[in-house]
Structure 1
Amino acid sequence: MLRLSLKARLTGTFVVITVVCFTVVGVLLMNAVYRRIYQQDEINLVLSARHLRRFVGELDSTDDLVAHQARLTWSVLGDTENALRITDKDGKVLVDHDLSHFTVQAQAVAPADQRLTVTDIRSWNDGDGEIRGVSTLAALKDGSMVTVTVARSMADRSVLLLRYRWDTVIALLLGTLAATVLSYLLIHRALRPLRAMTASASSVTAHRLSTRLSAENTPAELHALAHALNDMLTRLEEGFDRLWQFTVDLAHDLRTPVAILRGSNEVALSRPRSVAEYQSLLGSNIEECDRVSQRIESMLFIARAENPQFALQRLVIDTNEELHLLADYYEGIASDAGVVVRIDAHATVYADRDLFRRAVSNLLSNALRYTPSGATLSLIATTTETGVSVSVENPGPGIAPDHLEKVFDRFYRVDRSRTDSNMSTGLGLSIVKSIMDLHGGDVLATSELEGLTRFTLRFPRVTIPD
C-alpha cells in the first residue's frame, strides 16, 4: 500500500482546493461574461428595432422606404454583424441588408403598438452558428404595414467566448502549477520544526533517554506535541531507571541467600558429616529457599498489581473486625516481643478484603519488628472528609527524614546492618503502596527519631454500588 508523506498529503489537499476554487471562479466568470455579452446584444437588437419602427413611421410609403434604405442601414445598424430585412404585407422584400450573409428566418412578429423587450427576441441556427433576432410590425404614414426584422449573428461572440474559455483554462493550469510549487515549498518550510523533532527523537536510545525535544520556535500544535513527547520520555527514563535499580537490587538481594546456600553446602562437603548434620543443613537450606520464594512471590505480586487489568474484588469491610483478626493472628509474635496491640477502629471501608489484610499485615509485621518491649502498638481506623484512614502507630527508634521518602522503594531498607535484615524481603512497603494505588488511594509515613512512627493507609471516598 502506497504511504504518502504528510508533505505530499498537505500539498495534494491544497492543490485540490485550489483547482476547485479556480474552476468555480472560472465557471462563474465565464457565465457572467456570457450573460453580459448576450444581454448587451439583446438590448442592442431591441433598441435597433424600436428605432427602426419609429423611423419607418416617419416615412410616407413603401417607395419612400426603399429610397431611404441607405439611411436606414447606416443610421440604425452600424454593426457588420447585424442584418436588416423589411418586407411588406405580401412578403416582398423591400430592404435587405445582410453583410454577414446569414439566413434571416421568419419568426413571431410583435404588433406595431407593443413595447418591444428582450423577451421578443428569438434564436435559430443557420448551420454556421446561432442567430438572434426580433421582428415587429411598423406602420407607414399611408397606413400600410411592413415587417421589420433585425438579427445578429453570434458567431463572433462564440469565437470570443471560446478564446476566453481557453484563456481561463490556461490561467487555471498555470495557477494550479504555481499553487503546487508554492504550497510544496511553504509546507516544506512549515514542517521544518517537525523534521527537527524527528531528528531529535531518532537520537533517543535506551542509553540516551535524557534527550529532550526542543519546543522553541514551534507552532502551537507541535509545541503541545513536543511537551507530550518530553513527558513520555521522562516517564520512560524513570521507568528504565526503576527497572535498572530493580534489577540491581534484585541481583544484590538474591546474591545473599544464594551465597549462603553455596557456602553452607561447601562447608558441609568439606569433610564427612553425620546424618544429623546433613539434616540440619537441609533444613537450613529449605528455610533459605523459602525466603527466596517469598521474595519472588512478592515481586510477582507487584508486577501483577501494576497491570492495568488487575481486578479488585471490593466489599464493604468492617475495619474493627478485620483489625482484631489481624491482631489475633500476630498475638504470638507480639507476646514474644513484649508488645501490646491496641485497636481503635470505628469505620467501614469499600476495598478488596485480601489486599486490605495484606497491606495492614505488612505494616503490622514491620511495626512489631521495631517496637521496643513493653511498648504499645496501635491500630486505628477513622472516617475522614475524603474517605477512610487506617493507621499503624508504634514507638521506636524512628526513621530519619532522608530515609522516610524512600521507604516505599523496592528492596530499600533503612538499616541494612540489622541482624534480622535477612528476614525481610525489602518489598513489604512497596507492596503496600501498590495495593493503595490499586484502590486509588495512597499511603503516608511520618516518623520522629526516638518517637512515634505512623503509617497511614488513606482510602478515597467512593460510591458503593447497589
Structure 2
Amino acid sequence: MRRLSLATRLTVTFTVITAACFILVGWLLYRAAEQRILEQDETNIVLSARHLRRLVAELDSMEDLKTHQDRMVVSVLGDDNNALRMVDDAGHVIVDHNPTNLPLAPQGVVPTGQRIVASMLNTWHGDHDLPIRGVAVVGQMRDGAHVTIMVARSFADRAVLLRRYRRDMALRLLAGMIAAMVLSYLLVRRALRPLRSMAADAATIHAQNLHTRLSAGNAPTELHALAHALNEMLDRLEGGFARVWQFTVDLAHDLRTPVGNLRGTNEVALTRLRTSAEYQALLGSNIEECDRVSRTIESVLFLARADNPQFALQRSTLDVREELQRIADYFEGIALDARVGIEIQGSATISADRELFRRAVGNLLSNALRYTPPEQIIILLASRTDEAVTVAVENPGAGISAEHLDKLFDRFYRVDRSRSDSANSTGLGLSIVKSIIELHGGRVTVDSQPQGITRFVLWFPVH
C-alpha cells in the first residue's frame, strides 16, 4: 500500500479541520437565522392579536364589526401566509380571512384583559407537516359582547427560505473546502520546499563526500534544529570514517612490517643451504614476528568488541591494592631486568571487571617500565573521592611533549616514530586502556612534565 506524502497528509488534516470549522460556524449561523426569523414572526403575530383586540374594544356591537371587516383584515394583510378568523359567542364566523386555507385550531384562549405574549402562541401542523403558529384571544366590545379572535401564520415560506439557505450554505461550504484544500496543498508544498532542498543535499552525500553539510536557509525553526542534528551526525560519521580509514592504514602498515620481515628472512634463508643453528635462529625470529602479529590482531579484536554496545562486563568487587600487588608481581621480572622498582600506595575498593582492570593497569605499567630510567621507582597509587576511585601510574623520565598528550590514546599512535617497528609495541595499548575505562563509565587522563613525572590516572565512578 502506497503511503501518503507529508504534504498530502497535512493537506487532508488542514482540510478536515477547516471543514469542521465551516460546518460548525455554518450550523451556528443557520440556527441563529432560524431563531431570528421565528422570533420576528412570533412578534408580528402577537402585535396583530393585540391590535385586533384594541380595534374590537373600540366597536359598539357586532354590527359594527361586520361593517368594519375590511379594517380588521387589513391588520393582518401583507402576507398570504397569515390567517384571521373572528367568531362570536354563538360560534358564528364574523370575519374569515384565510388565503391558503390553513387549519385554524389554536389551543387555549387568552381571556380579556390578559396581556398577550409570545409564550402564549401555539404550534400545530398543516399539509405536508408544515408548522403553523397562532393564538386565540377574546375581545370585548362596548356593548359587552365578546368575540374570539384567531390569528395564525403558516411557516411554509420560512421553511422554503431556510431550505434555500441550507443549500446555499452547503454549496459555499463545499467551495470553501475545495479552496482550503488547494490553498493548503500549495502552502504546505511551499513550506516543505526547504525540506526537499535538504533531502536533495543529503542525496549528494556519500563516503567520498562527507564534508557536505545541510543548509536550512530560511526554513522554519524546526528544520533548523533538524539540519543542526543531521550536521552533527555527519560530523560524527565523517570523524568515524576518518578514524576507520586511518585505523585501516595504520593496521596495514603495522602488519606489513612483520609480514615483510617474515618474507625477507625466509627468502634470504632459501638462497643457500643453512646449518641447523641458523634455521633455528630463523624460526625463532619468525615466531617473534608471528607473536607480534598475533598481539596486534588480538588487540584489534578487543577494540572491536569493546566498541560493540552489547559488550558485557563481568563486574565484581575488587580490592584495588591487592590487584595492584598482583600486577606488580607479574611484572617483577621485567622490572628487575630494567633495574626499576615498583611501589604501591593507598587502598580502595571498586566494582569492575577483574580481567579488564588488570589489563588496563598492566598496559600502563608496561609503558612506564619501557620509559623509566634505571634506578628509578614507578608508583601505583590508589585513592578514593566522593565521586570516583582513582588508580594512578606515575613514573619519572623524559616526559611527553604537550603536543602529543591529546593523541596518546589514538589507535596506532606512537610518540617515538622510530620505534614503530618494535616487536614489543603495537601502538594499541593506550587505546585499549581508554576503551576499558569507558566501558566502566569512567575516563583516563594523563599529565606529563618534561624531564619530570608522567602520570596516568584511571577514574572509576563510585556508583
TM-score over 0.5 (shorter chain): yes
| 2:444 alignment counterpart | 443
| 2:61 alignment counterpart | 61
| 2:117 alignment counterpart | 117
1:432 aligns with 2:429: no
3-state SS of 1:423 partner: coil
1:270 aligns with 2:267: no
3-state SS of 1:19 partner: helix
Which amino acid is the alignment partner of residue 48 of structure 2?
Answer: S
Return the offset for 1:81. Answer: 2.4
| 1:88 alignment counterpart | 88
| 2:104 alignment counterpart | 104
Return the offset for 1:275. Answer: 4.6
1:103-127 deviation per Cα after TM superposition (whole angstroms, max 9, x unaligned): 3235332323433222222223321
| 1:346 alignment counterpart | 347
3-state SS of 2:116 partner: coil
Return the offset for 1:50. Answer: 1.8
Hey, what's the Cα distance between the residues in 2 that align with 1:254 and 1:345?
Answer: 41
- Per the normalisation by structure 1, the TM-score is 0.94
Hey, what's the Cα distance between the residues in 2 that align with 1:187 and 1:328?
Answer: 72
Return the offset for 1:276. Answer: 4.6
3-state SS of 2:244 partner: helix
| 1:291 alignment counterpart | 292
Q: 452-461 or 17-26, which moves further after superposition? A: 452-461
3-state SS of 1:307 partner: coil
Hey, what's the Cα distance between the residues in 1 that align with 2:251 and 2:420?
Answer: 20
- Pairing of 1:447-458 with structure 2 (within 5 A): 447-458=448-459
Hey, what's the Cα distance between the residues in 2 that align with 1:188 and 1:389?
Answer: 58
Whether the 8 Å CA contact 1:85–1:95 is kept in 2: the answer is yes
Gaps of 5+ in 2: none
1:177-206 deviation per Cα after TM superposition (whole angstroms, max 9, x unaligned): 221222222222211221221111111111
Whether the 8 Å CA contact 1:84–1:95 is kept in 2: the answer is yes
Q: 121-130 or 62-71, which moves further after superposition? A: 121-130
Hey, what's the Cα distance between the residues in 2 that align with 1:460 and 1:76?
Answer: 98
Return the offset for 1:441. Answer: 1.6
The percent identity for this pair of structures is 61
Hey, what's the Cα distance between the residues in 2 that align with 1:132 and 1:302?
Answer: 93
Hey, what's the Cα distance between the residues in 1 that align with 2:131 and 2:343?
Answer: 112
- Pairing of 1:137-176 with structure 2 (within 5 A): 137-176=138-177
Return the offset for 1:327. Answer: 0.8
Hey, what's the Cα distance between the residues in 1 that align with 2:98 and 2:246?
Answer: 104
3-state SS of 2:423 partner: helix
Hey, what's the Cα distance between the residues in 1 that align with 2:264 and 2:174?
Answer: 88
Hey, what's the Cα distance between the residues in 2 that align with 1:72 and 1:428?
Answer: 117
| 1:245 alignment counterpart | 246
RMSD: 1.8
Cα–Cα, structure 1 residues 433 and 106, in superposed 2: closer, same or farther, change >3 Å?
closer
Whether the 8 Å CA contact 1:48–1:77 is kept in 2: the answer is no
Whether the 8 Å CA contact 2:194–2:217 is kept in 1: the answer is no
Q: 387-396 or 244-253, which moves further after superposition? A: 387-396
The number of residues matched between the two structures is 462
1:60-82 deviation per Cα after TM superposition (whole angstroms, max 9, x unaligned): 22222111101111145443321
Return the offset for 1:14. Answer: 0.7
Return the offset for 1:96. Answer: 0.6
Whether the 8 Å CA contact 1:379–1:392 is kept in 2: the answer is yes
Hey, what's the Cα distance between the residues in 2 that align with 1:308 and 1:104?
Answer: 90
Hey, what's the Cα distance between the residues in 1 that align with 2:277 and 2:31?
Answer: 113
1:72 aligns with 2:87: no
Return the offset for 1:346. Answer: 2.6
Hey, what's the Cα distance between the residues in 1 that align with 2:206 and 2:149?
Answer: 93
Which amino acid is the alignment partner of residue 422 of structure 1?
Answer: A
- Per the normalisation by structure 2, the TM-score is 0.95
Q: 59-68 or 421-430, which moves further after superposition? A: 59-68
Hey, what's the Cα distance between the residues in 1 that align with 2:38 and 2:405?
Answer: 93
Which amino acid is the alignment partner of residue 451 of structure 1?
Answer: G
Return the offset for 1:168. Answer: 1.0
Hey, what's the Cα distance between the residues in 1 that align with 2:420 and 2:396?
Answer: 20
Hey, what's the Cα distance between the residues in 2 that align with 1:126 and 1:26?
Answer: 29
3-state SS of 1:417 partner: helix
Return the offset for 1:244. Answer: 0.4
The runs of 4+ residues in structure 1 deviating greater than 6 Å are none
Which amino acid is the alignment partner of residue 326 of structure 1?
Answer: I
| 1:16 alignment counterpart | 16
Whether the 8 Å CA contact 1:51–1:76 is kept in 2: the answer is no
| 2:424 alignment counterpart | 423
Whether the 8 Å CA contact 2:106–2:135 is kept in 1: the answer is no
Which amino acid is the alignment partner of residue 401 of structure 1?
Answer: A
Return the offset for 1:30. Answer: 0.5
Gaps of 5+ in 1: none
1:236-261 deviation per Cα after TM superposition (whole angstroms, max 9, x unaligned): 00000000001101111111111112
